[in-house]
Structure 1
Amino acid sequence: MTSDKPDFLHEAGPAAWRVAAQVVTAVGQVLLWILTGIGRLLRPITNRLVAALYGRSTPPPASPPYGGPPPYATPDGTLFTRQPPYPAGAPAPPPRPPKTPPLLRWVHAWRRFGESWAYGPVTGAILAVAALIELPLHHLRVVSLSGAFALAATLPLMFRRESLRPASAIVLGALAASLLSGQQVLLTTAFAGLYTLYILAQQLPRQSTGVLGVCSVVAVGVVYLASGSLDDIPWLAGFTAVIAAIGLGDARRTVETAEASVDEERERSSETLTRLNAAQREQAVLRERARIARELHDVVAHSVSMIAVQAETAPYTMRDLSPEAKKGFGEIAGAAREALEEMRRLLTVLRAEPGAEPEVTPQPRLDRLNELIDSHRGAGGDARLTVRGSARPLSTTIELSAYRIVQEALTNARRHAPGSRVNVELEYQGDRLAVRVTDDGATVPPTTTVNTDGRTKVMGHGLVGMRERATMLGGRFAAGPRPEGGFAVQAELPVGQNRRS
């Protein structure tokens, strides 16, 4: 039958260490508050001391009006003017950079030294030399047992950064052995022991700090009972010094942990703000690109298309034109059509996503409509292509726009009227290419009706894109429900004198 005593001891042990750690933490926090309060009380004195060490610079005399040199007065009240140290009309020398105060330079130098690799070995060696110097002051020989204990309690601190726990074990063991053997306590070795407890509490976790505090108090109590080395030091002062060193180390670790947490939170906040600013900049860029695209389409594209149309119709409306004039109007119309094509490409780039890859595949033409119809059938749709008139090669802009209009119309049919029958009609007229795509499926809400006048509201980007393709070329576009049911998309693209490119 199992007894409850081992379980009780197993649970009571960690609880006792936690209580000890909480006591040590409380003492450290109280001492930290006391030191902080003392620092605040002494702040006026320290400010005056710092000002005295820095030195105060007197303010420069006020410059006289009209940019002259500053005057000075003699004892009888007569004003004289100092001559500038540089010739008249020459530029004034640049101001000298302010000199760093001596105390501030010393503080920066000490911080750099504390962060270097030499800080541990140098300070440990200085502490060992100080212990050897202190021995003759107490009438003790350097080459003796006291000297050996003094070196053992101070010299290992040279390696406290690389091997903290072994060095601390040697320092604390040598200090305890010297006190138990009746050796006289030295100020240097006592400081080394308290400093070792401080850095141990600063590095160890909270529960280990409680174990360190209990063991240190027990060790000091054993020294008071078994030896007379600490008889000159009141027992309350000894216990308080040990607990204070451990408590301050634990409080310092808590402060550093809190500062690290604040720094991490500040860094996370900075990263979040950076991402938010980047997203806002991207949105602003997208809005600006959309605005530029709208202005180009609404203003420039309309004007250029009007130039092209007027240049193409001029030979028919003006019968007395010479062949050279007719040729000139034809060149104007061709240049306008090329400008419209380049503008279409620019609008495509402006409306594309910033991270999208540029389109490098060949642009589709009307000879690939059969492939498009077959792909629509493969997706479960029913489509039929009808071509009227004499088919002839057209410019890349016209054929690409017609192909994209048919492609978008088939996509809308699959999306809004799945399973419906779609009729695609191409009619080659004299100066125009008519595109008509109809289906017999469910009608789309009337709010999606789009005409070339642009006065009706549009629901979706597909119809907008088809309308822009048609109007950009000077054509006409209409889309809406049919009276007999279904939906119809109609576009007329002017062919004119567009040449195959």
Structure 2
Amino acid sequence: MRTPPQRWIRDRIAAPAYPWVTGGALTAGAVAELLAIPGSPTTTVGVLVSSASLMWRRSFPPVAVLTVAAGLLGFAGDVNLYLSIVASGLIGCYSLGRNRVLHPAVTVAGGALGALCVNLVHINTWSRMELPVPALWEKGSLSLFAESFLLTVVVFGAVMMGDAVRSREETREERSLSQAKLIAMERQQAAEAERAAIARELHDIVSHSVSMIAVQAESATYTTPGLTPEARDGFQQIAATARSSMGELRRLLGVLRTSRSDTALTAPQPTLGHLAELVEQHRAVGGAAELRITGDRVPLPAAWELSAYRIAQEALTNARKHAPGARTVVEVDYGADRLLTLRVRDDGPAPAARPEAGSDAAPGPGTGHGLTGMRER
């Protein structure tokens, strides 16, 4: 696909070598012009400095002040107006407005003052050349200042053009930034809507089911006659576990419904210090478990401890589900350099093979998401 001409021109102007190429070319043209039409030493220095200084106008924008001043000096030193002075003066004034080295009003005022000084020098030169120059305040004397008026208009136009380009680019950048913020906000709102939908599903389905388990287990201890103390304690453990699960679900729902701008939840997260309670809960429901800790406990990131706790919790759940009655050992090893090793093993039988796809057998071990979640953590 062909590049549009305007895009091609903008790319060339934006190139790092552009100021050096144009400044060098203008300086070479100024040298050729001075060789063709020699000027006074002041004019020669002004023309060369004004042209050569343009090579640094992008890396050091204030140098444009020197460009314009040297151009006015070169014009004041001779009655001849070199084309290189015109070009370098226009580019210098444009650079001053484009880079906002000074306020545009200050830049134009300085250029008008410089133009007036050049005009006065030329009036003096015309007088020495015995040209018909009317005295000040005489009829026709205002025509003597037409030069300064024209130079001021040129300076004003170049500075305003540079300032307009700068304003347009700032507007474009602000528009791009606003669009990026709008897109980010829309994405955040979409994510929050999705999280709210997930929270509703958890609340309407999972929370309701777990709450029913808690209520039924709690009421069974009073409505079922002839319960043994062990059975009564078992129902109480089921109710307590269900209530604990409800608390975890409420915390999860709060996280899902909390936007980034809201205050974060301050409920404490489980850590490795809660593993003993987790093992006790496993024992209370009939499992045999042992907790072994080696090494001195060291402070670890909260995310590490939470992940390790959830892994151990899922492993104990799998042991109760797939190896009932087996003896489970939870080993925590705090190694050197904050290296944490967590191992959960049991002496139960190996899980049965998965049913083949399309069979009517009940789902066997490994068909859930527990092991996947453990690997992700």
Q: TM-score, normalised by structure 2?
A: 0.50
More helix by share: 2
Q: Whose Rg is larger?
A: 1
Greater relative contact order, per chain length (Cα 8 Å cut-off, separation 6+) = 1
Q: TM-score, normalised by structure 1?
A: 0.39
